[in-house]
A and B are shown apart, each in its own frame.
Chain A
């Protein structure tokens, strides 16, 4: 990059210098960039496993009638363990089948609600509508509602990790 007006040394020695300078700086750059990139881009190791969280009693839940249930979730936030309130839309679809949706619209994350009249979920932000089985009926939402993994013990509902909804084709 710097012009060859420099007259110091023989051409071969000069070539050696240049190779040394660019080579060593490239090496150091790489040796620094690698840990820096890992540091910034790789998610931190989690010492905590995903756990089942108790949502509440579902004994009184009627078939076909979704209900928003709130529960405590314990979550790792950076170096902190925090307990926060969160909710799930829980729907008993038949005696044996139960789903729990995460409370955020899959479009841009607004809170949706159950529209009694039309029998579907409706997001007021940009009017995405979801059927009771979570499928997108209309609006800009890109995928079906996300679901929690569920586990039932007696009449108690537990939820685990989140399974993203299916993309709208």
Chain B
């Protein structure tokens, strides 16, 4: 019965004959395990297509919504975490497999005449794959996506000659906006898949036309693709698939905070397969930058495309390809070295997770609490009060207070202790209301675990926080999560700016950041210095 249906179908469509022809293709007797990577790359591409389609069923391709819908996929949709994991880690898998495939072809010299065009189509496939990675990077619309893409578009904008046009094509003249997003999305789900499909077709047709490269001296009768090689391909695909599944299930694909264009403290890191480029950029500064951003990558791609014309010797046996292997080893070492250097230089807080753990205790305090510490010292609270093992014995130990009070209650108490607690010998604290507020905020922050470390806070930092509070910087800036978002967040400015820059910026903001709405601050030198020290020391 099945036979009859198949025959009927084959008569009408020739489908079975075509499949047979494809499967029974003759390949050299010498091919085997090293030749599995092409099929693997094909498989992982199709897997990306499937998981991408599944994601798109629950994904809203506009900034903001994109982030929310992705979070919905990860947190609420059943199996959503695995599907996203497969897509996210699948991209990395694809890069690995494509690289292995190219390395195999390069070592075996399979790009040589008459297979130059096959090789060049292959290089195009590599570039398209990288293009997928680059465009897909923006789509989660988290901080990582946003800032990573800012860097990418800025590099594109600096392309000699065509930078302006690229900027227009990417709609990134005024930064990354809704139009940029739409373009990245369109490239990722329309342009690149079509280009990929077409180029794969070309690549496969060419492979079939010239046949798999036989090892030199392989004169044995040819064998069939099916089932021997198909079996080996299947096993290789299966191994890759198992690795990917394990990754998708055990390692959650990252989704950071919603993209925040004002968060200038964010240090963008590209995906691991672009880290070598990222690291190389550090070697070239100023006018030489273009060497790192364009010339070297451009040369690399050019060399890759022209490889069959550079190495024109006849196909040789593996043992005679020492030179090719040496070059490959050199390239691999270079890429590996740069990547390792980049990974090792990653500050631990770049993940955004461990910020509280590094650095001094005061780093986690809000400016008000830190200013409170300064008042706490100036008012000599510890002449009477103990904080754990330090301080006086007249008043109660501040770590042993019977119950947590609210800031309001404490302020009342500071202002007029006798009224709140008749009979106490605590004198009123002579500070303005806002300062009392800060003092209360700090006192409430004291606990056994951190008190000692907090009391070690450098004086200048705490005084800087007082200046920060006095000038109400929090009306426009966020710092450690407190304050309004009119201006940029101040965490980590020290990594972006120099001390001199900040000092000058206070005096004349518009000169250094044109278009800024920040008013100039002419503070006494001492205040300016401590405020700047505080900001520079902030993580």
Which residues of A pack against B, CB within 8 Å?
A: 1-3, 5-6, 8-9, 14, 16-18, 20-21, 24-25, 27-28, 31-32, 35-36, 38-40, 42-47, 78-80
Contact = CB atoms under 8 A, between A and B. Distances in A.
Given A2-B19, A9-B228, A21-B227, A38 B72 contact: no
A25 B54 CA distance: 20
Contacts of B113: none
A47 B23 contact: no
Contact of B79 (A18, A20, A24, A38): A38
B315 to A, nearest CB: 24
- Classify chain B: how many residues form its interface, as a range: 35 or more
Contacts of B20: 2-3
Nearest to B248: A35
Given A6-B24, A8-B228, A17-B228, A36 B71 contact: no
A112 B54 CA distance: 39
B80 interface: yes
A49 to B, nearest CB: 14
A6 B238 contact: no
Contact of B78 (A18, A44, A78): A44
B148 to A, nearest CB: 23
Contacts of A2: 19-20, 23-24, 226
A37 B257 CA distance: 29
Contacts of B77: 39, 44-45
Nearest to A80: B68
Contacts of B24: 2, 5-6
Contacts of A17: 227-228, 230-231
Interface string B34-67: 0000000000000100100010011010000100
A86 B254 CA distance: 39
B82 interface: yes
A62 B476 CA distance: 57
Contacts of A32: 47, 50
Nearest to B58: A78
Given A8-B223, A8-B224, A21-B231, A39 B79 contact: yes
B231 A20 contact: yes
B76 A28 contact: no
Interface string B80-108: 10110010000000000000000000000
Contacts of A35: 79, 82-83, 86
A3 B6 CA distance: 13
A44 B72 contact: yes
B363 interface: no
A38 B6 CA distance: 32
- Best-buried of A6, A36, A42, A79 by chain B (most CB within 10 Å): A79
Interface of B: 6, 16, 19-20, 23-24, 47, 50, 54, 57-58, 60, 65, 68-69, 71-72, 75-80, 82-83, 86, 223-224, 226-228, 230-231, 234-235, 237-238, 241, 245
Nearest to A3: B20
A8 B54 CA distance: 40
Contacts of B76: 44-47, 79
- Best-buried of A5, A43, A45 by chain B (most CB within 10 Å): A45
A79 B141 CA distance: 15
Contacts of A3: 20
Contacts of B75: 45, 47
A36 B49 CA distance: 13
Given A2-B226, A35-B83, A38-B79, A28 B23 contact: no
Contacts of B230: 17, 21
Contacts of A21: 227, 230-231, 234
Given A24-B237, A47-B76, A78-B72, 18 more contacts: A1-B6, A2-B226, A6-B24, A8-B227, A17-B231, A18-B227, A21-B231, A32-B50, A35-B83, A36-B50, A39-B80, A40-B57, A43-B78, A44-B72, A44-B77, A45-B75, A78-B69, A79-B71
Given A6-B24, A39-B80, A28 B228 contact: no
Contacts of B65: 79
A36 B54 CA distance: 7
A6 B72 contact: no
Contact of A31 (B57, B78, B245): B245
B241 A31 contact: yes
A146 B75 CA distance: 32
B78 A42 contact: yes
B417 to A, nearest CB: 46
A40 B223 contact: no
Contacts of B58: 78
Contacts of A80: 68
- Best-buried of A20, A27, A35, A78 by chain B (most CB within 10 Å): A35
A38 B80 CA distance: 9
Contact of B237 (A6, A16, A18, A28): A28
A36 B57 CA distance: 11
A45 B227 contact: no
A45 B82 CA distance: 15
A104 B83 CA distance: 37
B248 to A, nearest CB: 9
A6 B69 contact: no
Contacts of B16: 1
Contacts of A47: 75-76
A31 B248 CA distance: 12
